[in-house]
Amino acid sequence: MKILITGGAGFIASHIADRFIDDGNEVAVVDNLSTGNRTNLNPKATFYEMDITAPALKDIFEKEKPEIVFHHAAQVDVRRSVGEPEFDARVNILGSINLINCCVQNGVRKIIYSSSGGAVYGEPQYIPVDEKHSVVPDCAYGISKHTVEHYLELARKLDGLCYTVLRYANVYGPRQDPHGEAGVVGIFGENILNGLPCIIFGDGSKTRDYVFISDVVAANALAASKGDNEIINIGRGVETTDFEIFDAVRKALGANVEPEYAEKRKGEIDHIALAADKAKKLLGWEPKVSLADGIRKAAEFYRKKLGK
């Protein structure tokens, strides 16, 4: 099977590329390396350094003729989306429209789209949040990620393009970028190992739902053949506070440090956790890695990466 993965030099999508290559598939990766890293690229993948907004994206599709596309390329910084909504929309909305058009024009069988369960719903009316919950984003990033879901449904209606939308909880694990705003486990891990301060934005009581990278990869693999034309949450359904994450990371690293606190950032919700009943029903998916085991595996990765 021929697979094309956008953002395939990034944290999540590089693991997906590895999985499909290990399973004997041909994989092409498109990434502009603005946040992705060449070291994440599988040497067996065909790599194209290109922005998804580029008109020349169609040339890659015409050459590769992928059967399935995994779309992870995106502007993912909530703070930047608040300050630069035009940039956020250009990458996440216009870039995705360009990609969808390429899929339609080249007979792609299915596209699996990486959406955000943490940003599209807004501040929850109830927890855990299921897919029937209202969508009222509190930031431009959430708006742009949700908007693409509508374009996918339109492409299904007009052109017969099959899709699955996976709305992720907070994904963490090896290769997570510690320099991005969403990679709190990576940020805390590397900062502790490097003797740098660990900053918690707010009072530490903000909660998120954390899901380990291998579980997310498994969901994507299942979505290649299941969950057609559905929107599906991928999470553990468990709230974990910022302080609890910090505490788990420092304990995994055997460190005796305390966090610093700063003002809560604009556009961030206070609490979220995702119900994954639909994922179990339609994909046969359930998270297998506990938070404790996942944090331990992530800590081992950062310790090895930094040689400490």
Residues marked active site are found at 141
**204's tokens:** 């530490």
DSSP state at residue 93: I
Q: Which helix H or strand E contains 241, and what residues bound it?
A: strand 240-241
* Under 8 Å between Cβ of 37 and 9: yes
Report the half-sphere exposure of 157 (CA within 13 A, side-chain side).
6
Quickly list H helices, 30-138. Answer: 57-64, 78-83, 85-89, 95-105
Residue 84's Cα: distance from chain center in Å?
Answer: 20
Distances 105 to 43, 65, 108, 134 between C-alpha atoms, Å: 28, 10, 8, 33
Query: Buried b / exposed e across 255-290, counting CB within 10 Å, b at 16+?
Result: bebebeeeeeeebbbeebbbbbebbeebbebebebe
Q: What is the DSSP letter of 91?
A: I
Distance of alpha carbon 132 from alpha carbon 150, whole angstroms = 15
Dihedral sign, Cα of residue 36, residue 38, residue 39, residue 41: positive
* Structure tokens that stand for 184 in this block: 């709190």
Helix (H, G, I), strand (E, B) or coil at 297: helix
**HSE of 84, CA atoms in CB hemisphere, 13 A:** 9
